[in-house]
């Protein structure tokens, strides 16, 4: 199966098919397996689908190009979000996941691509738990996201995902009728134990 899909990835079926399939999206320089431990904390027994970012920045995998720290190549964001959305749809069919709930879990750059897919391609992804995300595209199209749920967890002292950009992401999602849950912690660019607890509760709601 894997050789027929467009992203390098791994898929592991869970012990409980009634639980959501978690789409794990690593941060810059990460690997598909990086968030496996987080997935086990959020939803033990869930299946996991973990692709690898296809952009290389000095050898570090990413999900889309950037022009500088926090300065994104927006055209590339849109293209890469479309590519990932197509992969999700193909993987759903290939692994017989149609009809099962799928939730993206992303950190940093992985959270940004999760937000981009949620904003641009609700046909592929309608739920995301995004840790340390910021607005990935400045003016996403006015797509109806009334069936979309997003959890955004951000540190108030995060210099890599500054709060004004995160607040713009919250606004763009809510303007499109998405159900947005906001969690703030006093730290920086990280996933805190409280954030994990909040995400676990959000997943089970």
Residues classed as catalytic: 108, 158, 189
| 63/101 Cα distance (integer angstroms) | 23
| 112/145 Cα distance (integer angstroms) | 17
Query: What is the CA angle 96-4-119, rounded to 5?
Result: 65
Return phi, psi of residue 90, to 5°: -65, -40
Return phi, psi of residue 57, to 5°: -115, 100
Residue whose C-alpha is closest to residue 127's, from 135, 115, 138:
115
| 8/54 Cα distance (integer angstroms) | 8
């Amino acid at each position: 199966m894997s050789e027929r899909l467009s992203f390098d990835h791994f898929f592991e079926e869970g012990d409980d098919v009634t639980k959501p399939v978690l789409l794990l999206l690593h941060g810059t320089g990460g690997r598909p397996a990086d968030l496996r431990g987080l997935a086990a904390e959020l939803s033990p027994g869930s299946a996991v689908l973990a692709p690898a970012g296809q952009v290389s920045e000095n050898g570090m995998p990413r999900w889309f190009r950037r022009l500088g720290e926090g300065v994104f190549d927006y055209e590339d964001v849109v293209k890469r979000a479309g590519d990932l959305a197509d992969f999700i749809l193909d993987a759903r069919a290939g692994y017989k996941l149609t009809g099962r709930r799928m939730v993206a879990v992303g950190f940093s750059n992985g959270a940004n691509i999760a937000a981009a897919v949620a904003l641009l391609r609700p046909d592929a992804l309608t739920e995301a738990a995004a840790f340390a995300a910021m607005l990935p595209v400045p003016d996403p199209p006015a797509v109806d996201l009334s069936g979309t749920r997003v959890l955004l967890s951000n540190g108030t002292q995060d210099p890599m995902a500054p709060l004004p950009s995160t607040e713009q992401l919250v606004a763009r999602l809510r303007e499109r009728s998405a159900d947005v849950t906001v969690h703030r912690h006093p730290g920086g660019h990280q996933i805190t134990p409280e954030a994990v607890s909040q995400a676990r509760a959000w997943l089970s709601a």
